[in-house]
Amino acid sequence: STFEMSKPVQSIGKFFSHAWCTPGWLKTVALMYYENVFPATVAAFATTIGLTVLEFAGAGVPMPLVGPSYLVDGTNIHPIRIDFSFVPPCLVFVLVLLLGHEIPGLAQ
C-alpha cells in the first residue's frame, strides 16, 4: 500500500487536503491559482510598466489597431484609438498563472 511507502518527516512545508468528489482538473486549476496568481499579477503589471516606459521613450512596440472606434457622448462622436497593447500583459499573466510553478526561483 502507499502507507508503507511513506517516511517520517520533521516538518511539512505545505499540506493540501482535498475531496475525492471534486474533479481533478478543478483541483489543478485551484492549485495553479493559489500558487501562481500573485506572481502572475506582478509579472503582468511589470510588463505593462515596461511597455509604457518603452512607449514614452519612443521605442514602443508597434501594436496593430483594432480598427476605427468611436466614443458616443450624447450627440457627439469622438474617435478613439484602441490597440492591442493589453495583449502582452494578458499573455504574460496567463503563462505565469499556468506555468509559474515551473519557473526556477518562483516556486515557493
CB contact set of 100 (below 8 Å; sequence gap of 6+): 32, 35, 36, 39, 40, 106, 107
Q: Is pTM, for the whole model, over 0.75?
A: no
- Over residues 64-96, the pLDDT tens digits come to 666 667 788 888 888 777 777 788 999 999 999
Residue 4 has pLDDT above 70, yes or no: yes
The tens digit of pLDDT for each residue in 42-66 reads 999 999 999 888 878 877 677 666 6
Alpha-carbon distance of 33 to 23, in angstroms, equals 16
- Which amino acid is residue 29, in one-letter code? V
Residue 104 pLDDT greater than 70, yes or no: yes
Asked if residue 40 has pLDDT above 90, the reply is yes
Per-residue cell: 52 = 509604457
Higher pLDDT, 37 or 13: 37
